[in-house]
Amino acid sequence: MERKINRREKECEEKHSYSEGSEQDKDYKTSLITLNVGGYLYITQKQTLTKYPDSFLEGIINGKIMCPFDADGHYFIDRDGLLFRHILNFLRNGELLLPEGFRENQLLAHEADFFQLKVLSDAVKSRWEKEQLASRETTFLEITDSHDRSQGLRIFCNAPDFIAKIKSRIVLVSKSRLDGFPEEFSVSSNIIQFKYFIKSENGTRLVLKEDNTFVCTLETLKFEAIMTALKCGFRLLTSLDCSKGSIVHSDALHFIK
């Protein structure tokens, strides 16, 4: 008799446990919200969309704002579906995180205003203003040749992306025939220093990535830097000691953009 009672108690416990699990699953499923934003579906949690009180999304979820539904019963918001990715990431992370090279600040600011997210709108507008200010700043480029074997060619630019472009343009391909061969160049964010070791002997050739032209002299290297500068929109401001008649032989060249 006691054994039967224990079995019944166990069955009741299992049913109760299953019932609790089902309720938890139900609560979890109801906490997931699917939004159709301009034809793009986003699934997220209710607490994410209601993070900022009095926002457009919080108003929709809590029934303060009427919102149409699509054919599948999802909330439909007639806005930019691609940009909504950044809106949702802001709600999730609490900060503005945009991919490198993002150029749609003005559009994103409009979206933030529509969704009534003032914190995001202010962050986007601040980022936009900083980028515009940076674009108005003058970019300087200086190419100097000390004619000293220990120093060689020095290129300075306050735009790190140009330094990276010069570095990727020229690649050392062989150094097998010289003992104690020094580093090809030393680089920081604004300066690239080419050592004065470029000679015409076999084994010291540098190759250009784009056209496989061999570079064997410091003058040719300097010429490549000048041509890259001109292609990138720099203009020559001053040149020092151009008595030899060629810009490549100048001790110092100054460019601005």
Residue 189 structural domain:
140-173+182-256
Structure confidence by residue, pLDDT tens digits, 202-255? 444 555 555 555 555 667 778 888 888 998 889 888 876 655 567 777 888 999
Q: What is the 3-state secondary structure (H, E, C) of 218-240?
A: HHHHHHHHHHHHHHCCCEEEEEE
Does residue 9 sit within a domain?
no
Answer yes or no: are the C-beta atoms of 238 and 142 closer than 8 Å. no
In this prediction, residues 164-191 reach a mean pLDDT of 58
If pLDDT is split at 50, 70 and 90, which confidence band does 168 have? confident
Structure confidence by residue, pLDDT tens digits, 39-53? 999 999 999 999 999
Does residue 18 sit within a domain?
no
Does residue 13 sit within a domain?
no
Structure confidence by residue, pLDDT tens digits, 38-89? 999 999 999 999 999 999 999 999 999 999 999 999 999 999 999 999 999 9
**Which residue spans within the chain are E strands per DSSP?**
32-37, 40-45, 75-77, 140-145, 153-157, 170-172, 185-187, 191-194, 206-208, 214-215, 235-240, 252-256
The tally of domains found in the chain comes to 2
Residues 125 and 35 in one domain: yes
Does residue 19 sit within a domain?
no
If pLDDT is split at 50, 70 and 90, which confidence band does 18 have? low
Exposure on the CB side of residue 47, measured as CA atoms within 13 A: 6
Dihedral-angle region of residue 54 (phi above 0 means left; psi in -120 to 50 means alpha; beta otherwise): left
Residues 52 and 111 in one domain: yes
Residues 89 and 124 in one domain: yes
